[in-house]
Amino acid sequence: MPSPESIAVKQYLKAFVASQPAGLDLEASRKGLEMLSSLTPVAPDIKVEKTTVEGIPAEWIAAPNAVESRVFLYLHGGAYILGSCNTHRSIAAKISRSTASKVLLPEYRLAPENPFPAAIEDAVQAYRWLISSGYKPEQMIIGGDSAGGGLTLSTLLSLKEAGDVLPALTVLLSPWTDLEGTGESMETRAEADPWLKPEASRATPVLYIGKLDRRHPLVSPIYADLKGLPPMLVHVGNDEILLSDSVRLVDHASAAGVEVSFKVWDDMWHVFQTFEIPEAKQAIDEIGEFVNQKLSVNA
């Protein structure tokens, strides 16, 4: 059974979405996500340090238990058109604590001002900057939520193609892996999803990729060759239209020989981990267990 807190948040999200203007108002959407994120403040013991990564604004976010040599490169969600350090500082802080990692949260360039492949270029740059700064791939994790999850995969694929040593692990929360929107959950979960709508999810990609083929492997990683990617943890909600994006990714990755840990969370919605509910705490704790178990072996 879902917790009372999650039921209340789901009702709030439905009301919030219903209050938004019809059609895509980019400025209003960006402000709306900032407002939602302000409801989940960062704990007072978290250290936040602003920095730049080869000209890219970013933040270092570290819980008191963060191991100096362990870094989690976190790529925020927002359909490639929304999101910032402000919107994802809180979840980055929770992940820092659970994984005992310093988190680097870059503000990669957003579309439509900076369309594909700007976000990938910035994410690749951020990873290489970490390597050049002395961090070891075997103590690094890369991950993200929603579009940030898709961007994580595109970054790994780009690094693999270029011959870079890949990080040890990847963590994907409700990853957006099919920008064409062909998954069956786009219809079967449309009523249950309190946040995302199929029409908007299918209309938004044009702002990021223009006329580029939506099945391009760096756009929709379910069409990519995933062989050789690091072990991955994938979490997704059972009540979200992007459920099929995760299911198909996991099937594809497993078939390619990638080690995958996969969990579908009953009664949960898109990137529920960002909210102050018991299920989110459990999910964040499980991310920590995954990372700490794997990296303690590799240390």
**Active centre residues (catalytic):** 146, 240, 270
Residue in the structure block whose two tokens are 């079967």:
188
Q: 3-state class of 107 per DSSP?
A: coil
C-alpha 106/C-alpha 88 separation (Å) is 10
C-alpha 249/C-alpha 242 separation (Å) is 11
Q: Which of 151, 173, 280, 164 is nearest to 218 (CA)?
A: 151
Helix boundaries (H) for the chain: 4-19, 26-37, 85-99, 118-132, 147-162, 185-188, 198-203, 205-209, 243-255, 278-298
C-alpha 278/C-alpha 268 separation (Å) is 11
Reported for 46-55, long-range contacts at CB under 8 A and 24+ positions apart, including other chains, are 46/93, 46/96, 46/97, 48/89, 48/93, 53/104, 53/106, 53/125, 53/126, 53/129, 54/125, 54/126, 54/129
